[in-house]
A and B are shown apart, each in its own frame.
Chain A
Amino acid sequence: MRYTLRVWRQRGPEESGGLVDYDVDGISPDMSFLEMLDVLNERLVLDGEEPVAFDHDCREGICGMCGLMIDGVAHGPERATTTCQLHMRHFDPAEPIVVEPWRAAPFPVVRDLMVDRSALDRIVEAGGYISAPAGAAPDAHAVPIPKADADAAFTAAACIGCGACVAACPNGSPMLFTAAKATHLGLLPQGQPERLSRAEDMLTAQDDLGFGGCTQTGECTLVCPKGIPLETIATLNHDVLTAALRGR
């Protein structure tokens, strides 16, 4: 099959970019979207052109490194799917495919389709952990955790940090990302001592980094490859409010 791509090309963060049209031939329906870009890139290299830069690594939907805006949708048209797990069988060769990077002020474009998402790391560094130095832990069975709580914590913990939520949000808010971490740790007994400070510190960091605020539009959860539920945001808000009421 043959596809027409409109790919965002931009040499660096300070330079302006634009969409460039490419035709790619020899695409099979079993190829992943990134394998289709591999085909394009090998051809570009042989033609002496610089290939399209994009982030990717595990190619099995778990590392969170890949992420493209495909026809205006983060990670493309399939629900609960990362870009690397999206296959060409879902695309109509008659329609051009528009491929762009994540767009949000705190995610500057590095080159072409690559963006700098290190702001997400800063949010976690601000408090997205349980302080438990190695060697100090009690026996793992010391505190039983109800299965329902453990399962709910897991659902939130499944976030892969890809940043699709930010890219999809009209406000450029990472609230789903932050809330997933706050909920994962806040639902577990081990996470209680730092629960309120964690929520507050991460939220403050998120604001300081220039992300937008959350207005509960819900676009984030729709594009989330791991289906992190919107309720996590309510949990985070609850913790932040409780912290405020307690006059922390």
Chain B
Amino acid sequence: MSCSDYTNYSEGEPIADTRAPDGPLETRWERRRFAARLVNPANRRKLTVIVVGTGLAGGSAAATLGELGYNVLSFCYQDSPRRAHSIAAQGGINAAKNYAGDGDSVHRLFHDTVKGGDFRSRESNVHRLAQVSTQIIDQCVAQGVPFAREYGGLLDTRSFGGAQVSRTFYARGQTGQQLLLGAYQALSRQIHAGTVRMHPRTEMLDLVVDDGRARGVVVRDLVSGEVSTHLADAVVLATGGYGNVFHLSTNAKGCNTTAIWRAHKKGALFANPCYTQIHPTCIPVSGEHQSKLTLMSESLRNDGRVWVPERAGDPRAPRDIPEQERDYYLERLYPGFGNLVPRDIASRAAKTVCDAGRGVGPGGLGVYLDFAEAIERLGRDTVSARYGNLFEMYQRITDEDPYEVPMRIYPAVHYTMGGLWVDYDLRSTIPGLFVIGEANFSDHGANRLGASALMQGLADGYFVLPAVIGDYLADGPFGPVPPTAVEDAEDEVRQGIAALLAVDGDRTAESFHRELGRLMWELCGMERSEEGLRKALEQIPQLRGEFWRRVKVTGAGGQLNQELEKAGRVADFLELAELMCLDALHRTESCGGHFRVESQTAEGDARRDDDAFSYVAAWEHTGGAPVLHREHLEFTAVRPSVRSYK
């Protein structure tokens, strides 16, 4: 409801990560773990930790903190922690195991990730991620995650975009599901043991901050509608990304920004909000009714070949177009990586050919992903073993058989690299508020490599957070929270709910969400320009104003009310969208998933401006014009270069 002035911002003090030790990158994590204070086992049960979200990051964190003996309260909006959206990740999880013997190493994974992120991530965090990656695979296998195996019984791997080694472990096209079930089972074991208390169908609506520390959350029970507060010594947000600001994305319908946005409004800085990942291989939109977009795993690019007709507007069916009249544009433009270029590059290339009128399918918004050559080379059975479930999913949705006709794909919003700012210990700028997984900004820079989201979520949850949270909790327990702090936070939430119900207008929350999404996709999507962003910054406040005049929410607050849930989430998206556009406007360079048309090379590739923009943009909420705090990025182990995948 706040009326911010987002066409403007002011410069604040620089910000720095003070928790990563200096000295050699290779030993920083070891030294930090050693320096971090511990909490003795008898004291851990006196300390309460709230974990919001039960995806790979939140589920693994809650389980592991429970194993360590902390008193954990876990929350999710779904009816079971097993349903968090990590479950939908298809392709795989990266780890520097070098089981393929193809030259992989921790340093190479680190290097690929920093480069893939277009030199906009923090070296120390990324190096730790690469180090921890190998432990994740060990942990998951021990839990019984059924990764794909070779006939000799050893683990199989495959390649993903942005890498020339085979380091991606997978479980058919359901890797996220199997990893999440591993975390869910570990969590279930702790629930049974009584260390974790689970609150499903419960949504966090605000953060309780007292005496400068995050001390709890205000939640709404989605079944009864009751608003209540849970207090703790630390709060961990593992609430995922905000891709649904675009309405249509590969995120689940319920994914939202509410938890991190409200924490931002309580003082947590929001870093790089404009860094959005558009995934190149999704099933194209089929009509106005579309409620979400379905991803087709990037792993398909291992064997599928991307092409469009040479000639614009070619009306022929794909199989009638002869080989020499097809343009395998990724192979042509990027012979070094071919169909396996990183996501941002593949997405923009698809947009470029479609803008040139060479797109296929309804509205010309699609390119072919063709398996004919792979089926001939490998046989239908092998292709089916690798991708069978994805082919079925495609056929179910489009009514077309990808064994016979090429798939049609188009880019769609998939992941947000931005999120709440955290330091090396995953602490936000509010003491006691930790942020893990996609909800933070830390590891992927301006573009995330495929199969790295699962890696980061589990690294944060199983290994990083449990190793460093003790350093904060060693000062606890933090004593009682005054009842007034709780009442104030609850009152604010109740007023917000009452305000949504009071409008009683003539438009659904969904219609506003759709309109916001179209606006963001057009003006803050795959390509951004100063003109477009300024237009967006004018239109978003108008749309928000209209929302608060015209939204219609039926029913009451004290009951199950899915319209109310949706309206609250859309209201927050309407605020976040503005910060995203401001961030995109201020960053006049192109980098990774952020492509400014004014900053491109003669070939149309992204042109970074390291002198001006080698920093993390961490935004402070003021209620008026936001304040920008810069975290300067230092590169000691990898020299920023022009990303080349040719």
Question: A-side interface residues toward B, CB under 8 Å?
Answer: 28, 30-32, 34-35, 38-39, 42, 44-46, 48-51, 53, 55-65, 78, 80-81, 85, 87, 89, 110-111, 114, 116-118, 120-121, 124-141, 144-147, 150-151, 153-154, 157-158, 160-161, 184-185, 188, 190-191
Contact = CB atoms under 8 A, between A and B. Distances in A.
Contacts of A145: 149, 153
A27 to B, nearest CB: 8
B192 A57 contact: no
A2 B83 CA distance: 33
A123 B145 CA distance: 19
A127 B193 CA distance: 11
Among A38, A134, A147, residue most surrounded by chain B Cβ atoms (within 10 Å): A134
Among B78, B144, B552, residue most surrounded by chain A Cβ atoms (within 10 Å): B144
Contacts of B83: 57-58, 63-65, 161
A59 B293 CA distance: 9
B247 to A, nearest CB: 13
Contacts, number: 218
Given A28-B289, A87-B396, 20 more contacts: A38-B291, A45-B553, A46-B508, A53-B562, A57-B78, A57-B83, A59-B253, A63-B85, A65-B83, A87-B399, A118-B79, A129-B185, A129-B186, A134-B64, A138-B142, A140-B140, A147-B151, A157-B171, A161-B80, A190-B144
A111 B510 CA distance: 21
A190 B295 CA distance: 32
A62 B143 CA distance: 20
Contact of B135 (A125, A132, A137, A184): A137
B146 A154 contact: yes
Nearest to A153: B146
B58 interface: no
Interface stretch (B173-181, B203-211, B314-322, B342-350): B173-181
A191 B393 CA distance: 31
Given A45-B563, A85-B397, A117 B79 contact: yes
Interface string B86-108: 01100000000101000000000
A156 B361 CA distance: 37
Given A58-B85, A134-B462, A48 B554 contact: yes
Contact of A124 (B85, B177, B184, B511): B184
A35 B149 contact: no
B605 interface: no
A248 to B, nearest CB: 19
A65 B289 contact: no
Contacts of A85: 393, 396-397
A131 B189 contact: yes
12 contacts: A57-B83, A57-B252, A58-B85, A58-B252, A60-B88, A65-B83, A128-B188, A129-B189, A133-B186, A137-B138, A137-B142, A157-B178
Contacts of B88: 58, 60, 62-63
Contacts of A140: 97, 137-138, 140-141, 147, 155
